[in-house]
């Protein structure tokens, strides 16, 4: 037995050595990646994140046992301080030589640590720093949705309820300020204005917060968008309720940073948030999520035994997914450099912020960017250093938590279930409970509280009392305001779907006179001395710079009013009035030119246009003027002259008809004449013009070119009428410029003395004035449209604009004299035809007499002698054309008429019908013989019958040309006597 125990000991020892050797062989050779974690372990987000990272590390390698890499976490506590976070980062980079850092937790901490990671080429991956205001460096990765991703969802909520104005409430930090530019821009895209921005200091006491809330309560806006941390939010909303701002009519919208952690707030804080709306990223429900949340809760309570209520929040899901993504990236890299390179070869320990340079970090960063998987928080995919955007839940705080009322997707769809609708009719939210347990959607604004009435400024003027009339009760010193536009404003306010208390405040001095112009009244609204202004206030660009106008309730435009006078029908020169002076002169000139053209065309062919110079001048003036009454008797033998006469007779017909109609109208109907019709004429003459005092028309007149010294202002209608009656020459004005409503009112009283003239200058109409950004503008404008459509606006106008009996002119009057413009085309046609005929005649004349013209032109005579020679030649009778075209010129009855040579003693002369009557009358009543006219045919018949039937001779009628030819032939060629047939 002695040998047994020693041998047994040796055997057991050998077996132990064998087992240890075998165990050493089976232990895998892992590549470890050192990962730093910087969190505020005393905060809820930090403790939740650390538990999620630990659970994710265990779950990942339990599911992937065959991986050759392992992450080793090195946790550091930042205690919520930037300096501690920076110290922890330097320690991890230089001492631990980490390949990546998860964290830090807050935006302020991350902004400093990012620079260190960028110097060391180490990725900084944050699952909780949501601000989009971080510097964009290659080594910073936000594995969390940026705050900028939710701004479109918030804007969609505001736009869904048609709120057009909001107040932004944010804390004064990098976290609070980072979202503001993105949120403002998103609201602007849906036509929503940020009326006020409240900045809450991190060190603000409850008194400071309460004063700020009371300040916002005095404003019109009732929609508030809140972006604060849980520490500020847990103090803010109890104070909101204390200030009376968590009641019906208000709406509060919180961002995901607060909405995701509502469960962690004290019950009394949640009770003050009843009815609050909020958004947070949508986490798809899955079996893995439920299982992980259960195991996470057990681990969290084990790690944090003092915590009472906790849930697996968004930050926990993002931390879980972040570690999985980093582990996948490490496996893709596969190999870690054994030792990092030193920055600048030798580490400078005198520089507190010097770091070592990682060689693994860039590879790890590239691998993280390529990782894509379906995580607990949804799809994990890094795009440009940020987590890809996802859908958002629309939540409503009700009871002890939140209730989902809708989903917003990145495509802009807002619906009550998580399905992407494309139909507008399906974009609906579930029923929402607003503050004050109200189901009524707040309209977005209210009249300021504390029983304050709107102070509506009204002008005080001695004129236009039909528009606005301010009467002072001297016994009570109270002001009574009435008028057309006052009734209009009251009708508009009464038609609003809500009650708005208001009171009229005259814009006057202590003595009761006007306190200034309408520009000054509008400026008082801008200075908030008035909450609005009512009256005959025109919309102008100058005023619109600092106040808002409703749509006009009265027509715009500026008209010119001028004196009128009636035509005197007993005037001895009334017959000249139908046509204007330029038309008279043009017609007379055309008469003379037509006469001269006819003389030129007929002079060489027609005996009527020949003779002494006095006869020539007489025919030039006589023929065109006689054509007015169609009494000319001279025959026209030239075709060109006939063409001129035909066109001229048509012009004369139109001109005489127009003259007759215009003169008849003047003699039968009383006509008006305007003293002036053109603004340019007033400016050229330097006349004085007028407008009403305090009107914007002064600027308009100066813009038209009037000298400021020539513009006079008046306070009432009577002064304007007196000045117009005097005229500019007697110290008055030549024209009055006023807005259309004022013009109508003025002419209703003086319609028989004045009227409008010239063009209407386009301007905007009268409108109600409110401060910039006032939400009353939109509702009042809609109410004006409603009154216009239902006819009530017209009914109110008729009650105040009942014009007295007036027989004067209505509307614009223009001159009744016919101008040259009316005959410009007609005169152009006749002038063109006349000129063309003259050109054709002259060309023909020059061509037929080309030999003569050439002879004259080649002669050595002076130019004037050549002209005189051509004129003498032109004055001679054209024998050839005269015989062919004027054969019957001397024989009116067509009988054979022979004109023989004057040397002959026998001639045949024609006798006219008048001469026959004279011969018969000289015979006396007792005579049985009479002389009757007989044609050449009748002569032939009578002679033939007297010859008898047996006669072989007959007599046939022959023309005067044939008679002349026969006579000349009978005389023989040697005879000195010749017959000239005409």
Q: Would you say residue 877 lies in a domain?
A: no
Q: Would you say residue 489 lies in a domain?
A: yes
More confident residue, 404 or 877: 404
**pLDDT at position 341:** 46
Q: For residue 120, what is the domain's CATH number?
A: 3.40.50.2300
**pLDDT at position 62:** 92
- The total domain count for the chain is 5
Q: Is the pLDDT of residue 632 over 70?
A: no
Are residue 561 and residue 599 in the same domain, yes or no?
no
Model confidence at 141, pLDDT cuts 50, 70, 90, reads very high
Share of residues in the chain with pLDDT > 70 (%)? 73
Q: For residue 751, what is the domain's CATH number?
A: 3.40.190.10
Model confidence at 155, pLDDT cuts 50, 70, 90, reads very high
DSSP assignment letter at 931: -
Are residue 226 and residue 171 in the same domain, yes or no?
yes
CA distance 486 to 478: 17
Q: What is the pTM of this model?
A: 0.57
User: Between β-strands 165-171 and 223-227, what pairing exists: parallel, antiparallel or unpaired?
Assistant: parallel
More confident residue, 204 or 626: 204
Are residue 154 and residue 259 in the same domain, yes or no?
yes
Are residue 275 and residue 406 in the same domain, yes or no?
yes
Nearest to 200 by CA among 174, 217, 176: 176
Q: Please give, one letter per residue, the 3-state secondary structure of 820-856.
A: HHHHHHHHHHHHHHHHHHHHHHHHHHHHHCHHHHHHH
Q: Cα–chain-centroid distance for residue 291?
A: 60
Are residue 680 and residue 754 in the same domain, yes or no?
yes
Q: Would you say residue 589 lies in a domain?
A: yes
Q: Would you say residue 651 lies in a domain?
A: yes
More confident residue, 714 or 408: 408
Mean pLDDT for 640-666 is 76
Highest mean pLDDT among 551-555, 649-653, 922-926, 946-950 belongs to 551-555
Are residue 93 and residue 168 in the same domain, yes or no?
no
Q: Would you say residue 855 lies in a domain?
A: no
More confident residue, 237 or 619: 237
Are residue 277 and residue 292 in the same domain, yes or no?
no
Are residue 213 and residue 243 in the same domain, yes or no?
yes
Q: Would you say residue 243 lies in a domain?
A: yes
CA distances from 106 to 60, 78, 115, 128, 290 (A): 26, 10, 15, 7, 28
**pLDDT at position 187:** 92
Mean pLDDT for 597-606 is 76
- What is the rounded average pLDDT for all residues in the chain? 77
Domain boundary among the residues 763, 790, 823 is at 763
Are residue 107 and residue 160 in the same domain, yes or no?
no
Are residue 129 and residue 174 in the same domain, yes or no?
no
Q: Would you say residue 876 lies in a domain?
A: no
3-class secondary-structure state, position 783:
helix
**pLDDT at position 908:** 43
Domain boundary among the residues 763, 787, 816 is at 763
CA distance 60 to 52: 12
Share of residues in the chain with pLDDT > 90 (%)? 23
Q: Is the pLDDT of residue 111 over 90?
A: no
Q: Would you say residue 883 lies in a domain?
A: no
Q: Give the model confidence (pLDDT) of 945-977 as tens digits.
A: 544 554 444 444 444 444 444 444 444 444 444
Nearest to 236 by CA among 333, 171, 281, 287: 171
Mean pLDDT for 781-810 is 75
Q: Is the pLDDT of residue 358 over 50?
A: yes
Q: Is the pLDDT of residue 27 over 50?
A: no
Give me the residue label for tokens 């971080």.
134
Note down the domain range covering 250: 150-283+392-414
Write down the H helix ranges in 27-166: 44-63, 82-91, 107-120, 151-160
User: Between β-strands 547-549 and 672-674, what pairing exists: parallel, antiparallel or unpaired?
Assistant: unpaired
Are residue 498 and residue 583 in the same domain, yes or no?
no
Q: Give the model confidence (pLDDT) of 306-343 as tens digits.
A: 776 678 888 899 999 999 999 999 999 988 775 444 44
Q: Give the model confidence (pLDDT) of 234-265 as tens digits.
A: 999 999 999 999 999 899 999 998 998 888 88
Which H or E run contains 302? Answer: helix 287-303
Are residue 52 and residue 81 in the same domain, yes or no?
yes
């Amino acid at each position: 037995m002695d040998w047994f125990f020693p041998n047994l000991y040796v055997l057991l020892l050998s077996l132990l050595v064998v087992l240890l050797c075998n165990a050493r062989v089976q232990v895998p050779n892992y590549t470890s990646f050192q990962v730093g974690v910087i969190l505020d372990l005393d905060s809820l987000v930090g403790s939740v994140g650390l538990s999620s990272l630990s659970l994710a590390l265990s779950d990942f390698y339990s599911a992937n046992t065959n991986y050759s890499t392992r992450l080793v976490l090195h946790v550091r506590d930042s205690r919520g301080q930037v300096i501690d976070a920076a110290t922890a980062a330097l320690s991890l980079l230089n001492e631990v030589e980490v390949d990546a850092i998860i964290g830090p937790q807050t935006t302020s901490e991350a902004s400093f640590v990012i620079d260190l990671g960028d110097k060391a080429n180490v990725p900084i991956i944050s699952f909780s720093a949501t601000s989009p205001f971080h510097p964009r460096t290659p080594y910073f990765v936000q594995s969390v949705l940026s705050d900028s991703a939710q701004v479109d969802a918030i804007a969609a909520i505001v736009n869904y309820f048609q709120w057009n104005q909001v107040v932004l409430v944010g804390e004064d930090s990098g976290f609070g300020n980072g979202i503001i530019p993105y949120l403002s821009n998103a609201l602007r895209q849906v036509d929503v204005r940020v009326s006020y921005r409240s900045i809450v200091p991190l060190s603000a006491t409850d008194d400071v917060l309460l004063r700020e809330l009371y300040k916002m309560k005095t404003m019109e806006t009732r929609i508030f968008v809140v972006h604060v941390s849980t520490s500020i939010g847990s103090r803010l909303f109890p104070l909101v309720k204390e200030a009376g701002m968590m009641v019906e009519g208000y709406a509060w919208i919180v961002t995901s940073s607060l909405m995701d952690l509502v469960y962690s707030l004290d019950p009394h804080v949640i009770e003050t948030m009843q009815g609050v709306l909020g958004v947070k990223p949508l986490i798809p429900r899955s079996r893995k999520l439920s299982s992980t949340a259960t195991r996470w809760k057990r681990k969290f309570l084990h790690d944090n035994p003092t915590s009472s209520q906790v849930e697996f929040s968004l930050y926990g899901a993002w931390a879980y997914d972040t570690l999985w993504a980093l582990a996948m990236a490490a496996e893709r890299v596969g190999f870690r450099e054994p030792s990092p390179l030193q920055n600048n070869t030798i580490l400078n320990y005198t520089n507190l912020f010097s770091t070592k340079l990682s060689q693994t970090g860039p590879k790890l960063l590239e691998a993280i960017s390529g990782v894509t998987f379906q995580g607990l928080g949804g799809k994990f995919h890094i795009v440009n250093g940020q987590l890809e955007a996802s859908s958002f839940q629309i939540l409503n705080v009700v009871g002890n938590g939140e209730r989902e009322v809708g989903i917003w997707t990145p495509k802009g769809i807002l619906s009550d279930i998580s399905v992407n609708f494309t139909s507008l009719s399906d974009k609906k939210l579930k029923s929402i409970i607003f503050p004050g347990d109200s189901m009524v959607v707040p309209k977005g604004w209210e009249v300021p509280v504390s029983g304050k009435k709107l102070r509506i400024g009204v002008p005080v003027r001695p004129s236009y009392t039909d528009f606005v009339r301010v009467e002072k009760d001297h016994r009570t010193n109270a002001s009574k305001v009435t008028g057309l536009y006052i009734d209009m404003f009251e009708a508009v306010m009464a038609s609003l779907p809500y009650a708005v208390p208001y009171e009229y405040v005259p814009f006057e001095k202590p003595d009761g006179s006007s306190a200034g112009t309408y520009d000054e009244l509008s400026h008082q609204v801008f200075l908030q001395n008035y909450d609005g202004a009512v009256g005959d206030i025109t919309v102008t660009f100058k005023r619109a710079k600092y106040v808002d106008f409703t749509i006009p309730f009265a027509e715009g435009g500026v008209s010119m009013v001028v004196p009128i006078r009636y035509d005197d029908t007993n005037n001895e020169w009334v017959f000249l009035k139908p046509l204007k002076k330029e038309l008279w002169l043009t017609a007379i000139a055309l008469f003379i030119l037509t006469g001269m053209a006819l003389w030129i065309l007929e002079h060489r062919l027609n005996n009527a246009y020949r003779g002494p110079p006095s006869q020539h001048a007489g025919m030039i003036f006589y023929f065109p003027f006689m054509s007015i009454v169609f009494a000319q008797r001279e025959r026209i033998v030239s075709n060109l002259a006939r063409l001129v006469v035909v066109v001229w007779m048509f012009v004369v017909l139109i001109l005489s008809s127009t003259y007759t109609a215009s003169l008849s109208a003047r003699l039968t109907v009383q006509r008006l004449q305007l003293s002036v019709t053109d603004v340019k004429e007033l400016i050229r003459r330097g006349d004085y013009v007028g407008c009403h005092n305090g009107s914007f028309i002064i600027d308009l007149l100066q813009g038209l070119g009037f000298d400021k010294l020539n513009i006079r202002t008046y306070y009432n209608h009577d002064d304007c009428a007196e000045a117009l009656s005097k005229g500019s020459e007697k110290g008055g004005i030549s024209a009055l410029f006023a807005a259309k409503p004022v013009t109508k009112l003025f002419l209703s009283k003086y319609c028989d003395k004045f009227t409008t003239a010239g063009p209407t200058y386009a301007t905007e109409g009268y409108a109600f004035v409110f401060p910039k950004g006032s939400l009353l503008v939109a509702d009042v404008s809609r109410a004006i449209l409603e009154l216009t459509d239902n006819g009530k606006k017209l009914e109110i106008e008729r009650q105040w604009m009942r014009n007295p009996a007036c027989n004067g002119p209505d509307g614009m009057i223009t001159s009744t004299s016919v101008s040259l413009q009316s005959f410009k085309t007609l005169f152009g046609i006749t002038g063109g035809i006349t000129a063309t005929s003259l050109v054709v005649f002259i060309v023909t004349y020059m061509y037929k007499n080309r030999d003569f013209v050439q002879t004259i032109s080649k002669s050595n005579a002076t130019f004037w002698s050549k002209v005189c020679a051509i004129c003498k030649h032109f004055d001679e009778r054209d024998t050839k054309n005269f015989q062919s075209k004027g054969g019957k010129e001397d024989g009116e009855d067509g009988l054979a008429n022979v004109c023989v040579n004057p040397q002959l003693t026998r001639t045949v002369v024609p006798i006219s019908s008048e001469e026959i009557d004279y011969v018969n009358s000289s015979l006396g009543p007792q005579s049985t013989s009479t002389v009757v006219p007989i044609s050449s045919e009748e002569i032939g018949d009578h002679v033939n019958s007297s010859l008898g039937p047996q006669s072989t001779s007959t007599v046939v009628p022959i023309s005067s040309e044939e008679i002349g030819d026969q006579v000349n032939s009978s005389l023989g060629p040697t005879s000195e006597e010749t017959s000239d047939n005409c």
